[in-house]
Structure formats: structure tokens, C-alpha cells
A and B are shown apart, each in its own frame.
Chain A
Amino acid sequence: EVQLLESGGGLVQPGGSLRLSCAASGFTFTNYVMSWVRQAPGKGLQWVSAISGSGGTTYYADSVKGRFTISRDNSKNTLYMQMNSLRAEDTALYYCAKETVAEGGADSFDYWGQGTLVTVSS
């Protein structure tokens, strides 16, 4: 059974940093592109970042480029998101999501975690 479990969210002041983690199980982690998707309170879904199975290629939304860094440790089946220079507008529930097809290029997301809440406020 595929499971994605996010952690690391919390309350942080503007300008602060946070590292999110997503522990994956139930599939061959290294074969899949993984993404982070966020949802501000009461708002829609926004794709944030993605990383190839090997970790060698990363993708970012313009709104987080230069501030967030996605990475993965395939030996630990874990996805990360280092979030720096946080802003109030980064407040959201952050989901990790697995692509549907193994290394098939950009794809839909067939499994999602339950999310971890990041609140940026003074």
C-alpha cells in the first residue's frame, strides 16, 4: 500500500526557515518524480516544486524559486523541501504527491499525503 507521510510543518516568523519531510513507502521510490503541492486556507491547489527520481533535475514555481529547495534521499525513501525567506503568503497546507507513471515525464498525481501545515506569522 502506497503511503506518504509529511512532517515538519509549524509556526515560523516571516523571513524564517523550515524543512518539510515526506516519508514514502509501498512503491519503488527512486522510480518516481515527486512533487510538493500547497493549499492556502480556503483556497485552491498550487503546484510548488518537483524532483526527478534520481534527484538530478528539479522544477520550481516562480513564486518559490530561489527561496525553496527540493531534494530527496532515495536510501531513506524520503522527500524534502527546505523553505527559506518565508513570507505570509507561504502559509498553507503542504502536500507531497507521487506521479502516476514511473519516470514518464510530467504526469498526474495518483497518491497524496495528508499534508503538513506551515503558518508564517509574527
Chain B
Amino acid sequence: DIQMTQSPSTLSASVGDRVTITCRASQSISSWLAWYQQKPGKAPKLLIDKASSLQSGVPSRFSGSASGTEFTLTISSLQPDDFATYYCQQYSSYWTFGQGTKVEIK
């Protein structure tokens, strides 16, 4: 089974900060990685798939990148609406989610 290790588990940041979340796969998943945003009481929302492909309607301050088995979600300038929990997901072999990163107000 492919394991996804996401870090940090919690991130405290201020509006305007540049934020980076990392996800590491236990084996090669090519670019078969997605990022989701989840707010309390809501279903997850797909932000990025294929490691760096931004979904329609998602603000351009969100970006994704990959280097080997390490994947990164970057928010270039954190906005009030971005405080949420973020999950990575591999879909190279079945589906596995990372443990999540809660982005909270500093």
C-alpha cells in the first residue's frame, strides 16, 4: 500500500503569509496527486490534481509542485477564506489521503 506522509499537521499563519504544505509518498506515484481543502462541516473541495493542475475557479494563489516523491502545496498570500484543513491524496494505486494540515490563524 502507498502511504502519504503530510506535514506539518498544524500551521499557524497570518493573512498575507506564504504557506507551504508538504506531502511525501512512500513510493513513486508519478504526478498522480491531488490537494483538497476542507472547512468545518463541509465536504472536501478539489483544488489541484495531477500534482500541479489548478481546478477551474480556484484562485491562482494556490499552486502545486512535485519533486520525485515529494509534493508541495503553496498558498502565495494567505487570505481569510484559506483558513481550513488541507489534504493530499495519491491516486496512482487505489487512493490514499495524507493525515491533513490545519491552517489556523496566528
Contact = CB atoms under 8 A, between A and B. Distances in A.
B95 A100 contact: no
Overall SS of chain B's interface:
loop
B55 interface: yes
Interface string B28-65: 00001010101000011110010000010000000000
B46 A109 contact: yes
Contact of A107 (B43, B45, B91): B91
B43 A44 contact: no
Contacts of A35: 95
B82 to A, nearest CB: 19
B49 A108 contact: yes
Given A44-B97, A44-B99, A44-B100, A108 B91 contact: yes
Given A106-B32, A108-B49, A114-B43, A47 B92 contact: no
Contacts of A112: 43-45
Contacts of A115: 43
Interface string A31-57: 000010100000011110010000000
A45 B88 CA distance: 10
Given A44-B87, A45-B87, A45-B100, A106 B46 contact: no
Interface of B: 1, 32, 34, 36, 38, 43-46, 49, 55, 87, 89, 91-100
